[in-house]
Amino acid sequence: MPVIQSTYKAPYFFRNGFVTTVYSGLIRKVSGLDQKRERITLSDGDFLDLDWSYSEEKSKKLIIILHGLEGNAQRHYITGTAKYFNQNGIDAVSMNFRGCSGEDNLTFRSYHSGDTDDLKEVIQHILQTKSYTEIYLKGFSLGGNVTLKYLGETTDIPEQIKYGIAVSVPCYLAGSAKELHRLKNKAFHDKFKSNLKSKLLLKSQKYQGKIKESDIQAIKTLYDFDNLYTSKAHGFKDAYDYYEQSSSLQYLPNIKTPTLLINALNDSFLSADCYPVKEAKNNENLFLEMPQHGGHVGFIDKGKFYYNEKRALDFIQQSR
């Protein structure tokens, strides 16, 4: 499909990408969402926590929401989507990646940008225990990459999966990693690195002999973290191999589920390769929207809900 002409107009004070990213991540509040937690056991013995919220009326429709790097199901970009869909008659389940729900997971491995296996297990769990006839996927940032990769690499997607939405997605991980290491993103880079190192130090105490505390302390960049831990713990040769194999960009031509990708042009986390114009033009199921503004997981709008939340539902309703 041709690239979609976006209708998003950012409020004047939120046209700066840094400002909208920080405001949306640290200042925005979403209240009044009642989440109920379900813990499921995965095939390798680890666990995942799912946070459910429901429409007032019994619904046969569900949205599965995936957060970004070091996020969780209580982040306001997640709860905003859940609340908006609940108010429009659709149940929501927000997936916490391994180790992101408030306690360490049970294995040395955790989660990463290309891990679609856990999403597959969540979908199968829902299909086996619930009776939803329509399921939508919506992922943000890292979770968006997982969503797109799942939709493009999976040959037996359940018929209940009707639509996909991905927001602020680093479709080409190596390019995005380079952007995150630039001076303009130092505050974000350092925050991610600090959180990840703290978690890894806990793992080094539980799994002595697998990783040295001195090696963790020597981590200076996110690339170092991915080279030392993410790649090795998840079966990749090194950070570069992890980025190459896990990027969703290569899977976009195979997507057969109607899917909307929203990447703002002023998203400082994304490289030029993260705007897949060619792939969208050559795939009738991939709809690419590139607003001028929005930052990273921003898209502040008038009223209580953000543009990406309203746009996701519009896309589903208009594509029927």
Question: How is 225-275 classified by DSSP, letter by letter?
Answer: HIIIIIHHHTT-SSHHHHHHHH-SGGGGGG--S-EEEE--TT-TT--GGGS
For residue 139, what are the β-bridge partners?
66, 166
Q: What is the pLDDT of residue 319?
A: 76
Q: What is the pLDDT of residue 117?
A: 98
Q: What is the pLDDT of residue 2?
A: 76
Nearest 5 degrees, angle CA 34-CA 145-CA 31?
20
Calpha distance 314→237 (Å, rounded): 42
The encoded tokens of residue 284 equal: 């009738």
Calpha distance 298→306 (Å, rounded): 8
Residue 178 CB coordination number (10 Å): 13
Calpha distance 170→189 (Å, rounded): 15
Segment (H or E) for 122: helix 117-129
- Starting at the edge strand found earlier in the chain, the sheet holding 61-66 runs 36-41, 47-53, 91-95, 61-66, 134-140, 161-167, 259-262, 286-289
Beta pairing class for 47-53 and 91-95: antiparallel
Q: What's this model's pTM, rounded to 2 decimal places? A: 0.96
Q: What is the pLDDT of residue 1?
A: 63
Extract the residue ranges of the chain whose pLDDT is less than 70: 1
Calpha distance 185→179 (Å, rounded): 7
